[in-house]
Amino acid sequence: MTFSTTIKNEVSKLDSNKLEKISELSAIVRNSATINKDIKISIENNAIARRIYSIFKDIYEVSPVITIREKIHFFRGFILIINKKQTEILRDLSIINKDNEYLDIPKDYIISDEEQLRAYLRGLFISSGSINDPKTSRYHLEFIVNSKDYANFINDLLNSLNLNSKVIKREKNYMVYIKEAEKISDYLRLIKAYNAVMYYEDIRIYRDHKNMTNRLNNCEQANIDKIFLTSSKQLKDIEILQKHDLIDTLDEKLQEVIKYRLKYKEASLQELSDIISNQTKNKITKSGLNHRFRKIKEIANNIKDK
């Protein structure tokens, strides 16, 4: 079972009032139905098919005829056929107007309050939505719709809720999608898929924690590499001075840092400054230590130039 199917099964069990059911059904019919003489709704999910059947029966006192659809891409779905009160239903769901003309987008009364809006977004997901399981490598929620005007309507609707959705053309259809994990979680919360929200957040937190751990490990490794590179350069400069028997000619402070660098080859500058300060009882800062090594480097460079 896919994550999308799990969500659809969850929301199919929600209780709704009459207005919410009309809003939800409006989105489902608009995105899943073919309308000729009859209204034919194609649904792959058994739980959703039962929900749609019960809404029609409850609101319009119509019992859809249910047939089993042939397998398409390994999925066997259901077709609900409404052959009574079609015009009344389509007008009520804001699919057609009073002149029986098709409406590109539903009228405002379908989403006139927060609960109806939630219901419409729920119907939208049931009929045209899919979402990647957060265990996969990327976060992605999408809705496939068949008209540009309706895609822009859905996009505006989602963005009015601060969900940062976008629209792209996809072959003959349009895709409205959300990529941000936090916004996808907000959408699931809006449609009241609370079990899915908890699952999604658990996985998201785990992945974020894992990514943070990897970033910290990478930073730590980079810091170790930097310390090793710095120490290696300092040891090469000291080696040049040793080859030319010049260490004894240096002042005591430079001889001191050379002595401790040779003894603690893998220490960082901060660690080395702490060691020298503790063992000699003469305080030396990391900056002061770095200054002495720059002097040693200048001497070594002069020797190489000559």
Q: Out of 3-17, 34-48, 77-91, 215-229, which region has the weakest mean confidence (pLDDT)?
A: 215-229
**Concatenated DSSP letters of the chain:** --HHHHHHHHHTT----HHHHHHHHHHHHHHHEEESSSEEEEES-HHHHHHHHHHHHHHH----EEEEPPPBTTB--EEEEE-SSHHHHHHHTTSB-TT-PBPSS--GGGGSSHHHHHHHHHHHHHHHEEE--TTSSS--EEEEES-HHHHHHHHHHHHTTT---EEEEETTEEEEEE--HHHHHHHHHHTT-HHHHHHHHHHHHHHHHHHHHHHHHHHHHHHHHHHHHHHHHHHHHHHHHHHTT-GGGS-HHHHHHHHHHHHSTT--HHHHHHHHHHHHS----HHHHHHHHHHHHHHHHHHHH-
Mean pLDDT of the chain: 88
Question: What is the reported pLDDT for 158?
Answer: 96
Domains and CATH numbers, the chain: 3-192 (3.10.28.10), 216-305 (no CATH)
Question: What is the reported pLDDT for 74?
Answer: 53
Q: What is the mean pLDDT of residues 111-131?
A: 94
Which pTM was predicted?
0.68
* Confidence check: pLDDT of 212 > 80: no
pLDDT tens for each residue of 28-69: 999 998 888 899 998 888 889 999 999 999 999 999 988 886
pLDDT tens for each residue of 159-208: 999 999 999 998 889 999 999 989 999 999 999 999 998 988 888 777 77
